[in-house]
Copies of this chain bind each other. A is one copy, B any other.
């Protein structure tokens, strides 16, 4: 049996379509027929060779929904339900060791020192070869965290939840205070930003504000009922004033960076009220430094939290 797969054989070159032998399953392994694959913004950087974690050749694709074709042994999903042939499933892209200090003692498996990620740091050369979502089939290893989906779930809608959705949950969960009645600003209208805004609204935030330059993103934000959209083309002063206006001059309780760039930080910190929290969730690659006066952080008693990927709880 063969599986059609799109392989990145060389950086900055188009993916190559090949037919790959499906190997036998190891103990606990699961063969899954892909139903939907998500293309993440970071896939582009990976193709261009900008992500140091990625080897070539590789089958990219870390967002996927599929149908179980075969399971070699008993496997339960995160809710404890036995999985079986034909089940529609989604899986956590990262597989953690469950044994290291970060997994066991700190209970921060998203920082696991041995995290292996489908479609990101698994070479096509190594068993089981089919380790990315850009193929007809994927083989999941025993330790993969899985959720069984209702057959009514739209795979093309849910598929992003495994990556930007789960990271947005991590961002919201990192907040120490309840969002009820709070003002939340999100910088950047990509999937991460939109998920973060939706969650903020879903958790009772009073004012949800998006800063974006994309009219496509604005439309989405309007559809989901985001309270205020500030265009990048306005001046920094205008944007700040709009936020001060609806917060009795105090500023936002929470600002979430979902742009992917350090450049957002200075403006983000200015948006915050004293005692507020700034989440850096989008910055995902080393980049040019930005100048900061930490007096702004100390004198405003601000908390800045970096948020890295996600784990089973967020997923």
CB distance from A75 to the nearest CB of B (A): 9
Q: Are A300 and B306 in contact (CB under 8 A)?
A: yes
Complex CA distance for A111 and B299, rounded to whole angstroms: 9
A80 at the binding interface (Cβ < 8 Å): yes
Taking a contact as CB atoms under 8 Å apart, the answer to whether B291 and A290 are in contact is yes
Q: A303-B305, A306-B298 are in contact. Are A169 and B176 (CB under 8 A)?
A: no
Does chain B have a CB within 8 A of A281? yes
What is the minimal beta-carbon distance from A112 to any residue of chain B, in angstroms? 10
Contacts of A111 in B (CB 8 A): 274-275, 301
Which residues 256-315 in A have Cβ within 8 Å of B in the complex? 257, 262, 265, 274-275, 280-308, 312-313
Taking CB atoms, residues of chain B closer than 8 Å to A104 are: 78, 145, 312-313
Q: A294 with B306: in contact, given A98-B98, A248-B80 (CB under 8 Å)?
A: yes
Please give the number of chain A residues whose Cβ is less than 8 angstroms from any Cβ of chain B in the complex: 70
Residues of chain B with a CB closer than 8 A to A150's CB: none
Q: Is the interface of A mostly helix, strand, loop or mixed?
A: loop
Task: Name which of A81, A290, A304 has the most chain B CB atoms within 10 A of its CB.
Answer: A304
0 or 1 for each of A240-263: is its CB under 8 Å from B? (1 = yes): 000000001110000001000010
Q: Which of A96-113 contact B (CB under 8 A)?
A: 98-102, 104-108, 110-111, 113
User: Complex: how many Å from CA A274 to CA B289?
Assistant: 20
Q: Which residues of B contact A202 (CB under 8 A)?
A: 180, 204
A101 touching B250 in the complex, CB below 8 Å, given contacts A291-B289, A294-B283, A301-B111: yes
With both chains docked as a complex, state the minimum distance between the C-beta of A257 and any C-beta of chain B, in angstroms: 8
Chain B residues within an 8 Å CB radius of A110: 301
Would A79 and B101 be within 8 Å (CB), given that A298-B280, A305-B303 are in contact? yes
